[in-house]
Chains A and B, each alone.
Chain A
């Protein structure tokens, strides 16, 4: 069984920062806007290198989204940065009208998504953002799993013409995807071939899915693991092909089971190849204060939860 090595734990937001720094050097049309969270979003280096292309908007996210939409008129490629909660729920109508409906080339980059935001608690831990963003016509929705993938995604979305929601997180997590990877929007990444079950994971749950697959293998269960970094447009072909092969699916995400990756997968399968599916996700609840690890454990968002879900779905085959 292939071994995925953690080359050194890093936060995905730093992957975004590294990508933005590189874009600053390579693409003069890239501009960045931030709502008073420059350090948290790792946008400092871009700011220092290109002060004329960095726009501090203050604690005023609605204005930030509108300004970003306006900057596309004149050929700029704006990257907005704030926490996921303030990037989506707080400014839903601004994104809907001024960005999505208006078809503007804005990159909404959102850190501190999900419960791994930790101690600040539920006011800041959005678990509904994937649903909010994927419901918007024309919006591309990406949730990356580690530093390298987040950096690659940041570079890739600058080349994509259209609105993008890029979701990443706060804590340091395993960095295991290749440094030189080519990030293809809408293309699933198969991490393990398997026969018995398909585990489809996104974001921080991808590393957990790898751990689960290794443990399941020891129990004699062969798990196929798919990293879905792009929730919209969804790589339906990869999902249907794998489900046809294994006949059982587990989805895993740091998001509410309503509106997340799991529902997108379920719809795809219902239409094309109905398959038993279990959902590793939060169960229509808010988060709370705690360490990221405690919260992932309490809300059932780790390899143990994936294994449990797998055992359950195998009985339904």
Chain B
């Protein structure tokens, strides 16, 4: 309790500081108050988490606006997912080590939503938040799509060419089993991305080989570059498809509702280790939190102009401090 109190006290003075140290505190609390690293230590403070999400949205808009390129729509839609995953769910180490032994891993398959990934990694303590200023600029570690090539902490595989992330995650998950490492491998995929055939090779492999230490989340925003998934290439009933392939499937009705995302990820975690890979079908709204970007594919890969940025930022007031 003392630790929690001091955490709140500090947060009044410097929320920026807290963001970087939050995980350290969590890990401390988990270790000393629960005794089991993989147990959820407490119900998270939704208000604090909401502040985090709001700041992540600002970061997304500002990154994309500065270089007049990038993908704000899908990034905004997944702000809650990334925030919950890195702030509340994953047992992970910000002192980055590529092998990631004895910690949970995350692989972003739809790499174009790098703005949300970079913001959450930075604000979780992987690299200085100020580095978000270099997004997509020459000589930056924050490439247009995430890569290991420039050594950015938190990234374990390049992604961008779609459909490859699940295979990589399955390999990492199998390596964990060989290493007797009980941690979980998380992935995120776009819904349109499931049109890539490699996913279905991986989906078939995972169930057939009981890779039950994987939780793959599909971001169901129903949009892709050329229009809705329904008009470009219908995905059909994904729940039935994953189940037919032998996965344990659960749904998050509103992936932009923090409590639902927390509950969904916790539920998914509880279903690991039972012989089946776990899939979360998560409904989100592309462009969530910025009214004129919502419910359209128009902002999939388009940056806001100065005026639009101001509107977007006014709808998401500064919480943890801009970089």
Contacts and interface: CB of A to CB of B under 8 A. Distances in A.
A71 B174 contact: yes
Nearest to A29: B178
Interface residues of A, number: 32
Contact of B198 (A63, A72, A101): A63
A97 B161 contact: yes
B317 interface: no
A64 B98 CA distance: 20
28 contacts: A52-B178, A58-B204, A58-B205, A62-B167, A63-B167, A64-B167, A66-B165, A66-B167, A69-B167, A69-B168, A70-B107, A70-B168, A70-B170, A71-B172, A71-B174, A72-B175, A73-B100, A73-B105, A74-B176, A74-B179, A76-B178, A78-B171, A93-B161, A97-B158, A98-B157, A98-B158, A101-B147, A103-B149
Nearest to A96: B161
Contacts of B121: none
B158 A67 contact: no
A265 interface: no
Interface in A63-101: 63-76, 78, 93-94, 96-98, 101
Contacts of A63: 167, 170, 198, 201-202, 205
Nearest to A62: B198
B101 interface: yes
Contact of B181 (A60, A74, A98): A74
Nearest to B166: A66
A3 B267 CA distance: 71
A70 B169 contact: yes
Contacts of A94: 164, 167, 198
Contact of B164 (A31, A53, A97): A97
**Residue from B98, B99, B100, B164 having most chain A Cβ neighbours under 10 A:** B164
Nearest to A28: B178
Given A70-B169, A73-B156, A74-B99, 9 more contacts: A55-B174, A55-B209, A62-B167, A63-B201, A67-B174, A74-B172, A75-B179, A78-B171, A93-B161
Interface in B125-181: 147-149, 156-161, 164-176, 178-179, 181
A94 B107 CA distance: 15
Q: What 6 A-B pairs come out closest when comparing CB atoms? A: A70-B171, A66-B167, A74-B175, A67-B171, A60-B201, A63-B201
Contact of B168 (A31, A58, A98): A98
Interface string B89-123: 00000000011110001010000000000000000
Contacts of A55: 174, 209
A71 to B, nearest CB: 4
Contacts of B178: 31, 52-53, 74, 76
A66 B168 contact: yes
A279 B293 CA distance: 59
Contacts of B173: 70
A42 to B, nearest CB: 23
Contacts of A58: 201, 204-205, 208
Interface of A: 31, 52-53, 55, 57-58, 60, 62-76, 78, 93-94, 96-98, 101-104
B64 to A, nearest CB: 23
A74 B98 CA distance: 8
A68 B171 contact: yes
Interface string B181-219: 100000000000000011001101100110000000000
Contacts of A74: 99-101, 172, 175-176, 178-179, 181
B167 A101 contact: no
A238 to B, nearest CB: 31
Nearest to A60: B201
Contacts of A104: 157
A72 B156 CA distance: 10
The listed residue with most A CB atoms (<10 A of its CB), out of B159, B160, B167, is: B167
A57 B203 CA distance: 12
Contacts of B105: 73
Nearest to A76: B175
Contacts of A76: 175, 178
Nearest to A61: B201
Interface string B29-52: 000000000000000000000000
B162 to A, nearest CB: 10
Contacts of B171: 66-73, 78
B215 to A, nearest CB: 15
Of A52, A55, A74, A94, most B-chain CB atoms within 10 Å: A74
B158 A65 contact: no
A69 B107 CA distance: 12
A74 B171 CA distance: 9
Given A53-B178, A98-B167, A102-B149, A66 B156 contact: no
B62 to A, nearest CB: 27
A63 to B, nearest CB: 4
B170 A60 contact: no
A57 B109 CA distance: 20
Contacts of B160: 97
Contacts of A93: 161, 164
Nearest to B203: A63
A29 to B, nearest CB: 9
Contacts of A72: 171, 175
Given A63-B205, A75-B101, A70 B167 contact: yes
Given A57-B205, A58-B205, A74-B181, A67 B170 contact: yes
